[in-house]
Amino acid sequence: MVALCVGVAGCALVADDGKAPDDAITVTPDDRSRGVPADAPVEVSVPEGHLESVRMVRRGTGPNGTVAGEFAPDRRSWRPLPAGEEGADVLELASQYTVDAVAVDATGRRVARHTTFTTKVPPHRFTGFFRPEHRQTVGTAMIVSLVFNRPITDRAAVERAVSVTAEPHVPVAAHWFGRSRLDFRPQTYWKPGTRVTLDLRLRDVRGARGVYGTQRKKVWFTIGRDQRSVVDVRRHRLTVQRAGAVTSRVPVTAGTRENPTYNGRMVISEKYRVTRMDGGTVGFGGEYDIDDVPHAMRLTTSGTFLHGNYWAKPGIFGAKNTSHGCIGLEDERGGGARSPAGLFFRHSLVGDLVTVQGTKERTVAPDNGLGGWNMPWNEWTAGSALS
């Protein structure tokens, strides 16, 4: 009989003929291995006979710590399920695993083997900073964006560990901007009422050599009403639509001929009741530094805002473009609740679409803010590491 002493240190497992079973069952990684990478191969095999049972468990996790696996057709080997298959697990770093296997040879003799190995504790980790926020209500043009704190070279592995799903269902595709940013969007704008879920399964996923993920979380957000706005720079006018119907037209001042506003589709990514705008941070030196800009809504990473303006001379709004590229709406110092800027701010959501037309500036780049709607769908899907 086999003496089963699983989990008891110093206890050997022997077959009924008194021989140690180590030669009969081979386990990879080797017994008591340390520093095993999360993507290391795991296998149990026998040179003859067949495996009767194999159980691999992450120590200390209880029944839910069992690693799912499969036998070869001849039952001469066993491996964990391949990554990507339903029910598959990846090795978790800084963990100890136990492997218990029972084999039967051609004569019916049973042998068992118990081994352990410990996965490595990586010196470097990566994290993805995501938007929008958990449980936030956003506009129909919202793009899910992840920015990683370290460059990602194993982009396929990372993308495979992130999913964005919608209820009701619509296809959602990923697009990489360089090695540190991964965005997701549907082919067309979200429908109001849609619930979108971002599932991050990045813990222990290899992002680059020696760099592994830390996150395992699921967040969701809701799509609110459909509001889209168009800025006509030539007419100095902002037109607001709700569900396709015009609700207001607001006079504005946009970028000058020397500093034109970007063309194209932009998405409100941040809202500030009051913020500071310093020209030195966006390449304009000391041309301006206003520490109390009211009702500011960010449109690009490079510094384009739609904001309240209390310092313009009378008659500017709706008549002349005077800004360094931003879009200004009439406002009061401190921010007037009933001012044109205050009303637009109050009725706008992060994720609302703002389209600018009629300038001589180039179209905003897809990675400048949430500018991905300026990219055709076929180009967007081509930016996936899994396409």
The CATH number given to whatever domain includes residue 214 is 2.60.40.3710
What type of residue sits at position 374? N
102 in any annotated domain: yes
Q: Tokens at residue 216, please?
A: 């395992």
76-85, 280-289, 321-330: the lowest-pLDDT one: 280-289
Residues 54 and 162 in one domain: no
Say whether both 81 and 185 belong to one domain: no
Domain boundary among 89, 119, 149: 119
3-state secondary structure of 324: coil
Residue with tokens 């049972």: 53
What length is written for the chain?
387
Do residues 151 and 108 both lie within one domain? no
Highest mean pLDDT among 107-111, 227-231, 361-365: 227-231
How far is C-alpha 252 from the chain's CA centre?
A: 35
Residue 3 lies in a domain: no
Answer with the one of 191, 224, 257 that is the final residue of a domain. Answer: 224
pLDDT for 63 equals 39
- SS3 for 339? coil
- Which residue in 175, 236, 295, 307 is the catalytic one? 307
Task: Tell whether 360 and 231 lie within a shared domain.
Answer: yes
Q: What is this structure's pTM?
A: 0.74
Cβ neighbours for 9, distance < 8 A, ≥ 6 positions apart: none
Q: How many helices (H) and strands (E) does the chain have?
A: 3, 28
Q: How far is CA 109 from CA 18, 21, 70, 115, 184, in A?
A: 12, 11, 23, 20, 56
Tokens standing for 379? Answer: 């180009």
| CATH number for the domain harbouring residue 57 | 2.60.40.3780
Domain end: 68, 87, 119, which one?
119
Determine, yes or no, domain membership for 380.
no
Contact 256, 236 (CB under 8 A): no
> Contact, 354 vs 268, CB < 8 A?
yes
Q: How far apart are CA 25 and CA 112, in angstroms?
A: 8
Q: Please indicate whether residue 5 is annotated as part of the active site.
A: no
Same domain, 216 and 231: no
DSSP 43-96: EEE-SSSEEEEEEEEETTSGGGGBPPEEE-TTSSEEEEPPTTSTT---PPTT-E
Residue 230 has phi, psi (to 5 degrees) of -125, 125
Paired tokens of 369: 């803010």
Instruction: Give how many domains the chain has, as a whole number.
Output: 3
Place of tokens 């390449």: 283
Q: What is the mean pLDDT of the segment spanning 311-315?
A: 91
**How many other CB atoms sit within 10 Å of the CB of residue 184?**
23
Pick from 90, 110, 94: nearest CA to 202 = 90
Q: Quick check: is 307 catalytic?
A: yes
Q: CB-based burial of residue 313 (10 Å sphere; 0-12 exposed, 13-18 middle, 19+ buried)? A: exposed
Between residues 23 and 240, the one the model is more confident about: 240
Together in a domain, 220 and 347 = no
Do 296 and 273 fall into the same domain?
yes
Domain that holds residue 242: 227-374
| Residue 163 maps to a domain | yes
Q: For residue range 281-300, what is the model confidence (pLDDT) as tens digits?
A: 667 766 668 888 999 999 99
Question: Per the domain annotation, does 260 fall within a domain?
Answer: yes
The C-alpha atoms of residue 273 and residue 32 are separated, in whole angstroms, by: 58
Q: Which two tokens stand for residue 5?
A: 């002493």
Weakest mean pLDDT among 185-199, 236-250, 283-297, 340-354: 283-297
Q: Is residue 90 part of a domain?
A: yes
Assigned domain for 2 exists: no
User: Mean pLDDT, to the nearest integer, of 324-340?
Assistant: 95
- The pLDDT of residue 7 is 34
The verdict on 269 and 329 lying in the same domain is yes
Residue 174, classed as helix, strand or coil, is: strand
CA–CA separation, 149 vs 12, rounded Å?
47
Q: How far apart are CA 28 and CA 268, in angstroms?
A: 52
Q: Is 155 helix (H, G, I), strand (E, B) or coil?
A: helix
Short-list 277, 337, 336, CA closest to 305: 277
For residue 363, being part of any structural domain is answered with yes
| Residues 250 and 366 occupy one common structural domain | yes
Are residue 107 and residue 190 in the same domain, yes or no?
A: no
Tell me: do 330 and 256 sit in the same domain.
yes
b (16+ CB within 10 A) / e for 63-81? eebebebebeeeebbbbbe
Q: pLDDT tier at 107 (50, 70, 90 boundaries)? A: confident
pLDDT of 384 > 70? The answer is yes
Paired sense of beta strands 69-71 and 144-148, if any: unpaired
The CATH number of the domain holding residue 269 is: 2.40.440.10
79 phi-psi bin (left φ>0, alpha ψ -120 to 50, beta other): beta
Burial of 287: CB neighbours in 10 Å, binned 0-12, 13-18, 19+: exposed
Give the pLDDT score at 223: 98
The pLDDT, as a whole number, for residue 360 is 87
CA dist 336 and 347 (Å) reads: 14
Same domain, 234 and 352: yes
